[in-house]
Structure 1
Amino acid sequence: MNMVRKALLISMLVLVVALLSAAVFVYATGPELPENTDALIDDVLQAPLPEVVRGEQGYAESSGWTIWYEHLEPAGESKGVVMLIMGIATDSLSWRQGFIDTFVDAGYEVIRFDNRGTGMSDWEADLDHAAPDQASAEEGYDLADMANDALAVLDALDIDQAHLVGMSMGGMIGQEFALNYPERTASLTSIMSSGFVDDPELVAISHNTLLDLLRVGLRYGLNASERDMIKLNIATFGILRGEAVYELDTEPIAASVLYNLRERRGFNPLALYQHLEAIRRSGSRYERLTRMEPPTLVIHGALDPIVPIQHGEASAAVMANASVLWIENMGHDIAEPHFAGVSEAILAHMRGQEGG
């Protein structure tokens, strides 16, 4: 009996030590939030919700998936259409309003849409109750399917051609779109992206970055209160910044998160896995990128901790029509300090294809 009690005591001690170690890992290490975060969140929670979505909203049908989009138009005559494609597990509201405004103010229509599995577009759980002739969640999908979602949005708006601007996984989707539908692609800008994210010859995401993402996910993502979800997103953007030196503009991040939670569907916890699987299924595009027809601009931050700059360099090296822009003090995010430089480069790239 004493042996049993002793074994139980040892087991309990091991469990306590493990829990304490986990608590230290989650709460006592890893990235810190800006000092004014709680005060900022208090202000955002008490203030009226901002006008995050300002354009025409609609839905497109894409092989059984319903895709939400927003269409903004300039004050004067349109010079063309810019389609913004967001990255992994992230809906279209993550495009900062100030960045969008640079294109609208320059005379372009702007379309942004929620990738499948995010925002107001269908999530896989929605397909579990779909009609027999609709898509099945069990079938899975790849980046070409996600590019078809972008095509469905253009078709729904009766738009023949667009300048594609994709960030991270959005750049991969943009590559697929431009390869499959060159006649619908006025130009492509692939930002902080890759032609083969699993290329064993290239630098991968660092172990420390993965641990930091895990820590903030456990610290703020389990409770899922409004306050913690805002903290999770602010902390994540801080990690995406990497070693770049600039102050994170947290108020738009907090306001966008709150709008998502109160006015939309919130955040899909399964989207990350599903999008990673879509990327894995798609494999390498290197050989196909050698036949890229639409003119392409590759933009990458030198300090990107998620998709290191070697991925941008490798993709640009094999593309037939690629120009490049490497940005020294930039991580895996288009933050406010980079709005002007990035948007001016994209506008110049687009105007070069328009002959103006």
Structure 2
Amino acid sequence: MNNDSMIEDVIKVNGVDIAYQLHGNSLHPTLLLIHGLSTPLTGWPKAMIDAFVAEDFQVLLLDNRDVGHSELLNHFHIPNMGWVMTKLKLGLSISEPYKLEDMMQDTIALLDALNLDVVHVVGASMGGMIAQLMAIHHPKRVKTLTSIMSTTGYKKLPSVNKNIRETLAQKPASKEYKDRMQYHINKWQVIGSPDYPSSDAYLHEYVGSMLERGITAKGTLRQMLAIMAAGNREEALSKLNIPSLVIHGDCDGLVNVAGGKATADAIPNAKLKIYPGMGHDFPSELIASIVDNIVTHIKTNLSDRR
């Protein structure tokens, strides 16, 4: 298989149909990319995937359950969200259709099905939470860990900025494509990087690729409930012995940079890279630097983790 090849398929693992793509040469080390809430695999910028392939990695991407071409779990009941929020404010536990641990097990089962024993894991946002859980529960499967714009699950860390919370709470004006497109463009504009605003043309293409891949309101809610119900991972992270890199933007209003700092503080010997002016996205101007940080992190630790 050469560096230009791509395989795409859907496979039932852990009882769920999971869609995935493999880019690059199968003889190269595998880099697994896990994206976040309501974001299919097309949320990873193509320039980033191409750069990793050019650095001699096989890149594995997946659609998490309930998004993209993976299975929509509409048979699960969604609890009343007003009551969920009340219980959270009171410090009470909430019920969720599935846990982040279930999503993590989807990913481990996918690796099993693809005969990939050990991979380099990169997770963004909710994907960072899933990546952390992989490292906690299946450390022998994780050569290196990179957690990007994510957090530890500690509930007392700063919450979502008010303007972002209000934007996310809105709904598309209708189910028409143009209104759904505008809603998601508004979302990415408000969570994006203040110092690196995306052009309208880029956002239309980027959001369009994700809507075409598949995003649903109910799937998003189920994933969100899994995040809200998750516990604090700091104690478990403190026991890791995996080379770890934490990347965050200091202008992230969705997952405050304090979450990245807490992650790096929790994991022994973790390296922390904070990007000034970066929000909760991958600005085109920073992709080369982010890729370089990850590749350097991996290659520095590769000889010790074969």
Decide whether the 8 Å contact of 1:226 with 1:258 is kept in 2.
no
Out of 193, 201, 208, the position equivalent to 2:150 is 193
Residue 187 of structure 2 is aligned to residue 232 of structure 1: no
> Any idea what SS the aligned residue of 2:274 has?
strand
Q: Give the conservation status (yes or no) of the 8 Å contact 1:83–1:111.
A: yes
Query: Any runs of at least 4 consecutive aligned residues in structure 1 with deviations exceeding 4 A, and if so which?
Result: 259-262
In the TM superposition, residue 73 of structure 1 has moved relative to its aligned partner by 1.1
Report the AA paired with residue 210 of structure 1: R
Match of 1:65 among 8, 11, 16: 16
Matched AA of 2:262: A
In 1, Cα distance between the equivalents of 2:226 and 2:168? Answer: 21
Give the count of matched residue pairs: 283
- 1:89 matched to 2:46: no
Q: Which residue of structure 1 aligns with residue 240 of structure 2?
A: 292
- The one-letter amino acid paired with 2:128 is G
Give the letter for the 2:53 counterpart: V
- Mapping of 1:33-52 within 5 angstroms? none
Q: For 1:206 and 1:259, how far apart are their aligned partners in 2?
A: 27
Q: What is the TM-score normalised by the length of structure 1?
A: 0.74
Please name the residue that 2:97 is paired with. 140
TM-score, scaled to structure 2 = 0.86
Once the two structures are superposed, residues 36-86 of structure 1 have per-residue CA deviations (whole angstroms, 9 ceiling, x without a partner) of: xxxxxxxxxxxxxxxxxx721122323311111011114xx7431111101
> How far apart are the structure 2 equivalents of 1:65 and 1:299?
30
Q: Pick closer, same or farther for the CA change 1:261–1:299 going to 2, 3 Å.
A: closer
> 2:75, 2:209 → 1: CA distance?
22
Matched, 1:251 2:207: no
Q: 1:206: how far off?
A: 1.7
Determine if the alignment matches structure 1 residue 108 to structure 2 residue 65.
no
**Residue 58 of structure 1 aligns to a residue in which SS?**
strand
The AA in structure 2 aligned to 1:199 is K
Shift of 1:163: 0.7
Q: Which residue of 2 aligns with 1:166?
A: 123
Q: Does 1:209 align with 2:164?
A: yes
Structure in which a larger fraction of residues adopt helix: 1
Q: Provide the C-alpha distance between the structure 2 equivalents of 1:139 and 1:269, rounded to a whole number of angstroms.
A: 16
* Structure 2 gaps, min length 5: 78-94
Instruction: Work out the CA distance in 2 between the residues paired with 1:346 and 1:55.
Output: 22
Tell me the SS of whatever aligns to 1:291.
Answer: coil
Residues 127/241 of structure 1: CA separation in 2 closer, same or farther (3 Å cut): closer
**Contact 2:123/2:130 (CA < 8 Å) preserved in 1?**
yes
2:96 and 2:222 in contact (8 A); partners too: no
Distance 1:211 1:280, change over 3 A: closer
Shift in alpha-carbon separation, 1:126–1:70, aligned structure 2, 3 A:
farther
Aligned-partner Cα distance in 2 for 1:166–1:348: 17
Question: Equivalent residue for 1:277?
Answer: 225
Aligned residues with identical type, % of pairs: 30
